[in-house]
Structure 1
Amino acid sequence: MAFQHGVTGRENPTSVIAASTSEMVAVYVGTAPINMTKERKVNDPVLCYSYSEAVEAMGYLKDFENYTLCEAIDAHFSKFGSAPIVLINVLDPETHKAETAEAETITKENGKFTIKKTGVIPETVTIEGQTNLNFQFDDDGYLVIIGTIPGETVSVTYSFLKPSMVTAEDIVGGIDTNTGDEKGLECIENIFPKYRVIPNLVLAPKFSTDSTVAAVLETKASKINGHFQGFAICDIDTKTTRKYADVPGIKENNNLNSTYLSAFWPMVALGTLKYHMSTQIACIIQALAAENDGVPFKSPSNKSLKADSAVLADGTPVLLGVNKANYLNSNGIGTALNFIGGWKSWGNYASCFPAVTDPKDAFIASRLMFNFLNNTLVTTFWQKVDEPTNKVLINTIVDSCNIWLNGLTNQGQILGGRVEFREEDNPTTSLVAGKISIRVFYTPPLPAQQIEFLKEIDVKYFDTLFQ
């Protein structure tokens, strides 16, 4: 030790570390009208905390059938006020496009020339005899030609987005063999490295009715970056499945059976806008977590939807009584119910129910809580990886976890929890390989989905007649 003369001091690391919890993040993979944007984001995750951010990055039209990410933008920011979301657009203006077969004649209206078609790609517009054109989009998504152009008509040609060309294969994505870049759902792996947020909820409205997309959603959600756990929310197609009694069979045929996946039917509508239930359920889950410091211990069932009807894809109304809604629930399918208190979400189970009844896996709320537990432990104790395996390390982890779990218990967010470092869980063969195992006992509250009142006559009350 170097010679010291005087008073010195040293610092030791704190023996207890704070839990590193994160906010609930919903991730959407789909299509957006990016012809309206300056930067064309294709297969590039974009984190958005506000409506303006989302619109600037993706564009916006009230055409949720063709532009599914607009449904997410509207639901999260305009209807529920829940954020953040990550948007991954797969619609590529280089490939998912078409061109005018012949020149189109545009007539001047109110002193302007407007191409009355959505999806027009501005840089592809050509006008006979005109150069250096400027453009802007109006509220309907139509392209307005800016500048002085003589005459009352012009002849134009252009290319336009064709979202109908986007397939389930584009949503599933993969790795580009030429560039090595991720595409579609594979882009989920880039979210945490890029933004340091965990993709807790994974969705692909409209496209998740495809069994292949639903399967990949579940696979991606169950293990993210090799360490995190998420939850996929999908829909059962209302174009082909029009009767509630047929829904369980479709669920089974599509192999929707996982603790990391929930399935919903039908759609819901608010005015003229139709929403996939998956989108609104994600909003509810996110809002409930935000109300409770990021802890998702409350079930999304029996919570208010932003809807005034339940519908099929073509707008046909669907009205389910409690008995019919419960039939869907008993088959692990969530739905919408208008019974007491307006339109509510209805259903507590993940899609693995009724084949799996373990409460850890069967309930959406418990699955979200076990995901929350796993992800918090990963982010909190990653800093301790490769530290010396000694009493200081073990005590730090055990004490920190127990203090955190006690806090969750006191808040009513779990019924109880504790952490133990057991000799039987840590044989010498594991310790010499640099592996330690810490057991966590953890009980989140389960939803009280059945409340029963037992009613009977107490004959003693006849005595009041003589008092």
Structure 2
Amino acid sequence: MAANFLHGVETIEIDKGPRPIRGVKTAVVGLVGTAPIFAVDGTLATVNEPVLVLSDRDAAQYFGPQMEGFTIPQALDAIFDQGRGIAIVVNVFDPDEHSTAQPEAAKSFASNDRLTLDHQGVFNLVVKSSDGNTTHELGVDYEIDPVAGIVTRLVGGAIAASASVLVAYDYADLEKVQPSDIIGTVDVAGNRTGLQAFQDTYNDMGFFAKILIAPVYGTLNAVATELNVMASKLRAVALVDAPIGTTFAEAIAGRGPNGSINFNYSGERMVLCYPHLKVYDIATDEERLEPFSQRLAGVICAVDNDRGYWWSPSNNEIKGITGVERKLSAMINDPTTEVNLLNENGIVTLFNSFGTGLRTWGNRSAAWPTVTHPKNFINVRRTADVIHESIEYSMLQFIDRPINQALIDDIKESVNAFMRTLIGRGALIDGKCIYDPAKNEPTQLALGHLVFDIEFMPPTPAERITFESFINIEMLRQLGGGQ
């Protein structure tokens, strides 16, 4: 009944019918590590705050140049080398905590007006005259390259050519960064740090990272374990590497209780990566090793964008690398090769044979071979995550509406329309949403609780193709024009 008297005509809008369901973002890397923030604009430097990075320009602006020991700039370069994807980045390097003070000492400028300090990663530099009575001014008397630790005398300033000066500074001491910094915590003010900060990103950005990495630090069991925990919370996958120097035999043994590396997991959200990759370093003009996980994260993003999250990340060329830490035998038709044995034990590796280039190789998470359910396929697990999360988020518009047949039909048809869309894209073989009265007793409905069944099947990757060959002597009848 209307609340007010009306002698006339009115229109009341009633929302009914299905609602479109929007798929969640998948090509988002969650990267936690260290960055030389002393080399960026102070207003952009962050510690333990999630930062959205969309390009290599953002990477340089917020997290500085590539520098030995710092993991974030190298990881972002590896991700963007693959061509697609975005990253949510948390830097845990804090100059106030992870630094060492260099006492005041005498140094002299060379004939090229440069003075090389004893350390790289320099900040809080103080330059005084040799008698200590004059403090020279940055930008007027000298400039500093904090990454290289080089001070340059400015002509026209107060520092004479080839002068001796007193210098004191702080320098980045990455040995002070502990696994606990990467793992993070919640402080007394309720602020999350390290890996835990990813839990705040939905409220801040509207989505979660779906591919978690902590390059270098992920080789530690303590960090790998927490990556697995966070992946479960965020419905993500966590990529972890074997330590540098791990042999093929050690990688296999690491899957068991007597192994010495961080591979003893059976979680369907853990992706085990082996070996490390070789990359040309323009700063040193030499090859260096870097974690496989950060390149694989970029490949997953590229596949998501170009083909779809329901495609496996396996059998895709990796860009920006010159080789691998350890050569592995690889033949597409030989089950005894090293790459096949790694895959057989739930380890993602690289395939490199004649004319193939360096390719990702492996469809399965650490759940294999313990778990034989299709969810051990990385793409199946991720597709299920997308479906579950997309449907859940879309249900906000139905929450607290009166339970009646119209509401049941609206929810069911909304989900089924979403399923049909995914089937049309090739993300599902089939799928449907069902309302089963047997699961919705009157006592349960009276409590405001509705239950729906969701059934679906993503396509599994064509991991093995078999041809059965027959030599048929009957075909000889064709000789001489026979039938």
Question: Is TM > 0.5 for Structure 1 vs Structure 2?
Answer: yes
State the alpha-carbon separation in 2 of the partners of residues 230 and 328 from structure 1: 23
Supply the AA of the counterpart residue of 1:133.
Answer: L
State the alpha-carbon separation in 2 of the partners of residues 112 and 266 from structure 1: 41
**Residues 117 and 143 in structure 1, CA contact (< 8 A), matched pair in contact too:** no
- Single out whichever of 283-292 and 141-150 deviates more from structure 2: 141-150
Supply the AA of the counterpart residue of 1:30.
Answer: G
State the alpha-carbon separation in 1 of the partners of residues 401 and 106 from structure 2: 69
Higher-Rg structure is 2
Matched residue, 1:384: 398
Q: 1:286 to 1:144 in 2, by over 3 A?
A: same
2:252 pairs with one of 248, 251, 255: 248
Supply the AA of the counterpart residue of 2:126.
Answer: V
| TM-score when normalising by structure 2 | 0.87
Supply the AA of the counterpart residue of 2:452.
Answer: I
Q: 1:8 to 1:265 in 2, by over 3 A?
A: same
State the alpha-carbon separation in 1 of the partners of residues 173 and 104 from structure 2: 17
1:341 pairs with one of 340, 345, 356: 356
1:259 pairs with one of 257, 263, 268: 268
- Single out whichever of 2-11 and 449-458 deviates more from structure 2: 2-11
2:204 pairs with one of 187, 194, 211: 194
Matched residue, 2:291: 276
State the alpha-carbon separation in 2 of the partners of residues 200 and 127 from structure 1: 50
Q: 1:216 to 1:392 in 2, by over 3 A?
A: same
Deviation at 1:60, TM superposition (A): 1.8
Please state whether the residue corresponding to 1:424 is helix, strand or coil.
helix
CA RMSD of the aligned region, Å? Answer: 2.2
Q: 1:180 to 1:131 in 2, by over 3 A?
A: farther
Matched, 1:214 2:224: yes
Matched residue, 1:314: none
Q: Deviations over 1:326-381 (max 9, x none)?
A: 11111111111102521111111110111111112x11111111111112112222
Q: 1:144 to 1:196 in 2, by over 3 A?
A: farther
Matched residue, 1:183: 193
Supply the AA of the counterpart residue of 1:327.
Answer: L
Supply the AA of the counterpart residue of 1:252.
Answer: G
Please state whether the residue corresponding to 2:226 is helix, strand or coil.
helix
2:38 pairs with one of 31, 35, 38: 35
Please state whether the residue corresponding to 2:433 is helix, strand or coil.
strand
**Residues 279 and 289 in structure 2, CA contact (< 8 A), matched pair in contact too:** yes
Q: 1:31 to 1:140 in 2, by over 3 A?
A: closer
Residue pairs, 1:281-292, within 5 angstroms: 281-292=296-307
**Residues 202 and 217 in structure 1, CA contact (< 8 A), matched pair in contact too:** yes
State the alpha-carbon separation in 1 of the partners of residues 439 and 237 from structure 2: 29
1:232 pairs with one of 228, 232, 238: 238
State the alpha-carbon separation in 2 of the partners of residues 384 and 84 from structure 1: 31
Please state whether the residue corresponding to 1:252 is helix, strand or coil.
coil
State the alpha-carbon separation in 2 of the partners of residues 107 and 124 from structure 1: 15
Q: 1:250 to 1:125 in 2, by over 3 A?
A: farther
Q: 1:324 to 1:9 in 2, by over 3 A?
A: same
Matched residue, 2:330: 321
Matched, 1:59 2:68: no
State the alpha-carbon separation in 1 of the partners of residues 110 and 465 from structure 2: 66
Matched residue, 2:126: 125
**Residues 352 and 358 in structure 2, CA contact (< 8 A), matched pair in contact too:** yes
Matched, 1:107 2:100: no
Q: 1:137 to 1:370 in 2, by over 3 A?
A: farther
Please state whether the residue corresponding to 2:415 is helix, strand or coil.
helix
State the alpha-carbon separation in 2 of the partners of residues 187 and 354 from structure 1: 32
Q: Deviations over 1:115-155 (max 9, x none)?
A: 5743111x343434224323766596545557524222333
Matched residue, 2:159: 150
The gaps in structure 2 that reach 5 residues or longer are 281-286, 332-336
Deviation at 1:266, TM superposition (A): 0.7
How many aligned residue pairs are there?
448
Matched residue, 2:19: 17
Percent pairwise identity: 27
